Structure 1
Amino acid sequence: MKKQELIHLHGLLAEVGSFYEQCDEANIELGDYDALGVRPTSIHKSKTDHKAAVFALSDGITSALDESEEAEPVAASAD
C-alpha cells in the first residue's frame, strides 16, 4: 500500500472513531493511538508511523464494537 493510500485509510478510520466517540453506547479506548501522536493530517510522518496508527485505531474501534455487541444481545426475529 502506498503512503498516500495509507493516509487516506487513516483519515477514514479517524472519522469512524470520532463518530463512535460521540455515541454514548461505544466506549472506545484510544490510549495507544493517542500515544503515537500521529494524525491523518501528519503527512510529514513516515509510512510506518501511519501504519502503526491505523492498527492502533482499528484495534480500539473493533474492541469497543465487540464489547458493545456482548453487552446488548439482539433478539432473533423473522420478517
Structure 2
Amino acid sequence: MYKDEMIQLHQFLVYVLKFLAENDQIQNDCSEYMILNISPHHIHKTKAEHKHAIFVLCKIISEIIADKDNNSIPSNVCNSLSDLVARSEKELKTA
C-alpha cells in the first residue's frame, strides 16, 4: 500500500473513531492513539508511523465494538490486532 493510501485509511479510521466517540463518550479509550501524536494531516510522518497508527486505531475500534455487543467481534480478532500493534511498535523502534 502506498503512503497516500495509508493516510486516507488513517483518516477514515479517525472518522469512525469520532463517530463512536460522539455516540458513546469514549475519550478515555483513545489515549493509546493520542500518545502517538500522529494524525492523518501529518504527511511528513513516515509510512511506518501511519501504519502503526492505523493498527492502534483498528485495535481501539474493535475493542469498542466488542464491548458494545459481545457477539459482534470474536476475542481472537482483538487479540490479533493487539499483536499487530506490538509488532509494528517494535518495527518503529528498530527502524
Same fold (TM over 0.5): yes
1: CA distance, partners of 2:52 / 2:31: 13
**Cα deviations across residues 12-70 of structure 1 (Å, max 9, x unaligned)?**
0000000000003x636111111111101000100000001000011001100000002
Where does residue 27 of structure 1 map in the other structure? Answer: 26
Q: 1:60 maps to which residue?
A: 60
Shift of 1:4: 0.4
Q: Give the number of equivalent residue pairs.
A: 69
Aligned counterparts of 2:26 and 2:36: Cα–Cα separation in 1 = 20
When you count helix as a share of all residues, which structure comes out higher?
Answer: 2
SS in 2 for 1:23: helix
Using the TM superposition, give the Cα deviation of residue 2 of structure 1 relative to its aligned residue in structure 2, in angstroms: 0.5
Query: Which whole-Å CA distance do the structure 1 matches of 2:26 and 2:68 have between them?
Result: 8
Structure 2: unaligned runs, 5 residues or longer: 71-95
Asked whether the equivalents of residues 30 and 56 of structure 1 are also in contact (C-alpha less than 8 Å), the reply is no
Q: Percent identity?
A: 33
Structure 1 residue runs of 5 or longer lacking an equivalent are: 71-79
Shift >3 Å, 4+ stretches: none
Larger relative CO (CA 8 A, sep 6+): 1 or 2?
1
